Amino acid sequence: MNLTANSPIQLLSSMMLIRASELKISIEAKKQTFKTPIHLAIGQEAVAVGVAMALRNSDTVFGNHRSHGHYLATGGELTSLFSEILGNADGCSGGRGGSMHITSRKTGFMGSMPIVGGTIPVSLGAALAHKRSGSKGVSVVFFGDGAAEEGVFHESLNLAAIMSLPILFVCENNLFSSHLHISERQKSSKIQRFAEAHQIESHEVDGNDVRKVSEMSNKLIKVMRSESKPAFIEAMTYRLFGHVGPEIDEEIGFERERDLKTWRKRDPIERELNDLIREGILSRETFATLSEEINQSVIDCWERAHRGVNPDESTLLQNVLMDF
Amino acid sequence: MTKFVDSIRLAFENELARDKDLIVIGQGVWSPFYVGSSMKDLDKKFGKERIIDTPVSENAVTALALGYALMEKPIVVIHPRMDFMILALDAIVNAAAKWRYSLDWKTPIPLTIRAMINRGGEQGAQHSQALHSWLSHVPGLRVVMPSQPQDAYELLVQSIRSPDPTIFIEDRWSYDINSEFTFNQNLQPLALEGPKVLVEGSQITVVGIGHSTNLIIDSLEFLRGRGIAEVIDLRVVKPLKIETILSSLAKTKRLLVVDASWNDSGVAGEVISMVMEKIDFQLKLQPQRLTLPESPAPTSSSLESAYYISGSEIHKKIEKMLKSLT
């Protein structure tokens, strides 16, 4: 990948924005400012950011229950996300979706839904629309290792391959489905094997290395745009917070305390920051300023969102169907 | 005169020619064993890129169709046997029915799901089910069931043009129904459609759901004298509109609903409940329904004929209700 002078800092600042936003959400969740269940992707930011940098607004992206990062990395407005989490009328989903159903159509983030694996086949249809229109657009779907245990995942890989659809499957393999380690769910921890079975080009990347993710995404998406075919990235990562809620859940699951120590050392933001400093692209001082700016904008967005109101009761039955 | 099956093909031919973005996808769309003659030569005329036969993946193909419709491009996904469509319920109930509301989408989602009830012929329990009642339980879907050739054409065209996910359910037993047909391009939006009176009568209102309406029409042959039974074809199962039924009842004061699907928690019961909630006059006797026996569909022809509703069975029921004074 040919990194322009700005792009490394862009990768870092996008990850920082996601981290700061999710930390803010976790603080407010602890204060019980809202009830909607939150699934934080703290520790996994590099996957969303690395992939998103290869995309255009006319591409289409589908998420899952853990999608704040996907939404923000692809350019979704932070205030609308916060408003949605607060259940407000001006939220990205009008206060009908909460944290698990978010969308930003104009930036290409089509939507997230919490049925595990549920959006994988939906993303194929958007890919088919890209292919038929000749726009060279691509579709991307983010899912976890748990989704690989759903039958529809297999169906989708087969369809994508046989129909030559421009779809990038991005598996964020964080080794856990809720509390259950992958070794207790599958015979192998390599999700890539399913793509291989369907003759889809697949690559494993260090999901905590934003440059590696970005480089791989750029490479694959460039080919997909010209050849219309699927590709698969398995990004190895780890979530530093619990499956659901604002806690770190140190006591839950298979040797989590030990793993947390290991994975904190691989924090994608720390790693990218250290690289940039070592390369002389960023100074500690500039980082401090950047950090302050991002934190301030998160606070501002939260306050703006907080001034919103919940939808009026009279809107309950609106937009169930379009025509009525 | 046009046959039901030909009117379906005509709807596809018309819409495929009109809208270049429209595609049709599903298992067996290139094969008469799955879709009868309803798709005959459409793949040749419009190309296999637009008439797409698929792997055996009901769930993924249905969700794929939703994804295409989310791009505001119309698509029809075909399930040649509704029983197999059960595998696609996640795509239908969790994704298609919820996308607009849960994400507050304001753009059209022109998804049509064409489901075929293919029963009889000793096919048994998993090639026979009429599951419209399940789908009608879910907000966010439209469900239509034509019984007449004109409606098969019109409701299919209207479904394709509808901005909402719509389930179009047809019964293979209706395929040879042959009746007057007028080619009409200027159709009103699907949302304005509802039940229709097919035959006027003064003594009893008989509501049919899907192919059951044709069985009701068969039963009229046994009724002495015309103008006794008023036959209403429900046509639109969801959202259910009962005004036409209420107007009819104001005259007949007797209600029979015929639905060749199971009784409990079914659409026939729903029609009766909605009528009883809204009616402001007395009926001559309590509303009745004629539905399938409480068992899966059998195969043996003796059991099959006991299982399915016939015109003469409807006739007997009507006669009994006409005689009843309570």
- The answer on B254 and B274 residing in a single domain is yes
Residue B59 falls inside a structural domain: yes
Domains, chain A, in order of start with CATH, read 7-306 (3.40.50.970)
More confident of the two residues A255 and A168: A168
Give dist(CA B295, CA A262) in Å, integer: 58
pLDDT (average), residues B208-226: 90
What is the structure's pLDDT at A253? 66
Spatial contact of B24 and B202, defined as CB atoms under 8 Å apart? no
- The answer on B135 and B219 residing in a single domain is no
Q: In chain B, whose CA is at the least distance from the CA of A162?
A: B55
pLDDT (average), residues B159-182: 97
- The answer on B170 and B58 residing in a single domain is yes
Q: In chain B, whose CA is at the least distance from the CA of A123?
A: B67
Query: At residue A113, what are phi and psi to the nearest 5 degrees?
Result: -145, 150
The answer on pLDDT for B326 being more than 70 is no
- The answer on B217 and B113 residing in a single domain is no
Spatial contact of A126 and A110, defined as CB atoms under 8 Å apart? yes
Residue B104 falls inside a structural domain: yes
Query: B140: which chain A residues are within 8 Å (Cβ-Cβ)?
Result: 320-321
What is the structure's pLDDT at A56? 95
ipTM value: 0.96
What is the structure's pLDDT at B225? 67
**pLDDT band (50, 70, 90) for residue B324:** confident
Residue B190 falls inside a structural domain: no
What is the structure's pLDDT at B146? 98
| Domain end call among B184, B217, B246 | B184
Query: A96: which chain B residues are within 8 Å (Cβ-Cβ)?
Result: 101-104
What is the structure's pLDDT at A22? 98
pLDDT (average), residues B83-110: 98
What is the structure's pLDDT at A8? 79
Q: Give me the CATH number covering residue B248.
A: 3.40.50.920
**pLDDT > 70 in chain A, percent:** 97
Q: How far is B215 from chain A (nearest CA, A)?
A: 31
- The answer on B65 and B11 residing in a single domain is yes
Residue B76 falls inside a structural domain: yes
- As to burial, measured by CB atoms within 10 angstroms (0-12 exposed, 13-18 middle, 19+ buried), residue A243 is buried
CB contact under 8 Å between A156 and B60, yes or no, is yes
Lowest mean pLDDT among A212-216, B14-18, B157-161, B218-222: B218-222
The residue written with tokens 């219309």 in the block is A228
pLDDT (average), residues B58-63: 98
Give dist(CA A211, CA A223) in Å, integer: 19
What is the structure's pLDDT at B221? 87
- The answer on B170 and B308 residing in a single domain is no
Q: How far is A2 from chain B (nearest CA, A)?
A: 32
pLDDT (average), residues A117-123: 98
Query: A320: which chain B residues are within 8 Å (Cβ-Cβ)?
Result: 100-101, 139-140
**B189 upstream amide cis, omega within 30 of 0:** no
CB contact under 8 Å between B103 and A323, yes or no, is no
Interface list for A 131-160 with B (CB within 8 A): 132, 139, 151-152, 155-156, 158-159
Residue A104 DSSP class: B
pLDDT (average), residues A255-275: 94
- The answer on B257 and B216 residing in a single domain is yes
pLDDT (average), residues A248-275: 90
Q: Which of B70, B91, B239 sits opposite A126 (nearest CB)?
A: B70
Q: How many domains does chain B have?
A: 2
What is the structure's pLDDT at A254? 65
Q: How many other C-beta atoms are found inside a 10 Å radius of the C-beta of residue A150?
A: 18
Q: How far is B313 from chain A (nearest CA, A)?
A: 38
What is the structure's pLDDT at A5? 43
Alpha helices in chain A (DSSP H): 7-30, 45-52, 68-73, 78-85, 119-133, 151-162, 192-197, 210-227, 256-264, 268-278, 284-306
Q: How far is A156 from chain B (nearest CA, A)?
A: 6
pLDDT (average), residues A130-143: 97
A126 touching B (Cβ < 8 Å) = yes
Query: Which residues on adjacent β-strands are paired with residue B116?
Result: B170
Q: How far is B24 from chain A (nearest CA, A)?
A: 12
pLDDT (average), residues B27-56: 95
| Domain end call among B145, B161, B184 | B184
Global pTM exceeds 0.90: yes
Which two three-digit tokens encode residue B87? 């595998």
Note down the domain range covering B259: 196-323
| Domain end call among B133, B157, B184 | B184
CB contact under 8 Å between B61 and A324, yes or no, is no
Q: Give me the CATH number covering residue B146.
A: 3.40.50.970
Residue B189 falls inside a structural domain: no
For A156-193, how does the pLDDT look when each residue is reduced to its tens digit (9 = 90+)? 999 999 999 999 999 999 999 998 999 999 999 999 99
**pLDDT > 90 in chain A, percent:** 93
- The answer on B300 and B155 residing in a single domain is no
For B286-305, how does the pLDDT look when each residue is reduced to its tens digit (9 = 90+)? 999 999 999 999 999 999 99
- The answer on B243 and B200 residing in a single domain is yes
Residue B67 falls inside a structural domain: yes
- The answer on B156 and B270 residing in a single domain is no
Q: In chain A, whose CA is at the least distance from the CA of B25?
A: A125
Residue B191 falls inside a structural domain: no
pLDDT (average), residues A247-254: 80
For A87-118, how does the pLDDT look when each residue is reduced to its tens digit (9 = 90+)? 999 999 999 999 999 999 999 999 999 999 99
Query: B52: which chain A residues are within 8 Å (Cβ-Cβ)?
Result: 163
Residue B26 falls inside a structural domain: yes
